[in-house]
């Protein structure tokens, strides 16, 4: 009986260990699925130019009150979405995951359409800062989803049309690279332009700030 009891105990331990391993693998497979999902459009031909600086007033929150778009010491990652957009849901899912590990980034969701459906659409993702897209339309694009990464002074560091966690991470990496180079060179981002007319960085500087080594125009572009 003692030998039988020991063998049963060993079998139970093996089964429990197998369950733990399978659960861990399932979590990693889900994360890989987010990272390796087929690429979206990537770039868009409109939207704010890289390097442009905007004087941004606090935006009206759909839940009431005002939300500052930029805050000293933080990057701001703004995600423009539409409740009817089929690829916006995986993007918001990726934003939620990124928010859990990025403490130095403020996440804002700008929703198209009416207030109540917009709040209901974003609620399930645990994202708190929700504004109407029209309140920060100067940063907007026709594409959905559309992401803009801003420096604390309102300078556009990166833009893109991501739908995976990996693409969001790349946008943030590009934004941080631009910030570090600008800080080292002592650049302040140029003159403010509420209409986005004056670029805060010259094209020669953009060539240095682009991690791919190629300068981008104002129509191309990511914290």
CATH for 134: 3.40.30.10
Which are the contacts of 37, defined by CB distance < 8 A and separation ≥ 6? 90, 163, 164
In a domain, 196, yes or no: yes
Mean pLDDT over residues 17-41, rounded? 71
In a domain, 19, yes or no: yes
- The C-alpha R_g of the chain, in whole angstroms, comes to 22
In a domain, 115, yes or no: yes
Indicate whether 76 and 124 sit together in one domain.
yes
Q: Whole domain around residue 141: which residue ranges?
A: 59-209
Residue 188 corresponds to which tokens in the numbers above? 């302040």
Q: What is the largest CA-CA distance in the chain?
A: 85
Instruction: Tell me the average pLDDT of the chain.
Output: 81
Indicate whether 167 and 78 sit together in one domain.
yes
Q: Residue 28, SS3?
A: helix
Q: CA-CA distance, 15 to 153, in Å (whole number)? A: 55
Residue 186 has pLDDT above 80, yes or no: no
Confidence (pTM): 0.68
Indicate whether 13 and 113 sit together in one domain.
no
Indicate whether 65 and 20 sit together in one domain.
no
pLDDT of residue 158: 95
| Res. 146 pLDDT band, cuts 50 70 90 | very high
Domain count, the chain: 2
Residue 65 has pLDDT above 50, yes or no: yes
pLDDT of residue 110: 97
Residue 37 has pLDDT above 80, yes or no: no
List strands edge to edge, sheet with 130-132: 130-132, 105-111, 75-81, 146-150, 156-160
pLDDT of residue 25: 84
């Amino acid at each position: 009986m003692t030998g039988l009891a020991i063998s049963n105990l060993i079998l139970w331990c093996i089964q429990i260990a197998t369950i733990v391993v399978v659960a861990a693998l399932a979590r990693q497979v889900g994360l890989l699925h987010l990272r390796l999902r087929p690429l979206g459009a990537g770039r868009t031909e409109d939207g704010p130019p890289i390097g442009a600086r905007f004087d941004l007033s606090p935006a009206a929150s759909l839940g009431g009150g005002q939300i500052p778009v930029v805050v000293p010491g933080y990057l701001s990652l703004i995600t423009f979405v539409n409740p009817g957009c089929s690829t916006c849901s995986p993007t918001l899912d990726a934003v939620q995951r990124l928010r859990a590990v990025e403490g130095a980034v403020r996440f804002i969701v700008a929703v198209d359409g009416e207030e109540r459906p917009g709040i209901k659409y974003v609620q399930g993702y645990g994202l708190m800062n929700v504004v109407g897209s029209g309140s920060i339309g100067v940063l907007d694009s026709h594409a959905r989803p559309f992401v803009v990464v801003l420096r604390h002074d309102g300078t556009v560091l990166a833009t893109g049309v991501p739908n995976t966690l990996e693409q969001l991470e790349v946008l943030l990496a590009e934004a941080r690279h631009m910030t570090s180079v600008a800080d080292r060179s002592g650049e302040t981002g140029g003159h403010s332009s509420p209409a986005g007319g004056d670029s805060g960085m010259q094209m020669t500087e953009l060539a240095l700030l682009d991690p791919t080594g190629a300068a981008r125009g104002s129509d191309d572009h990511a914290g």
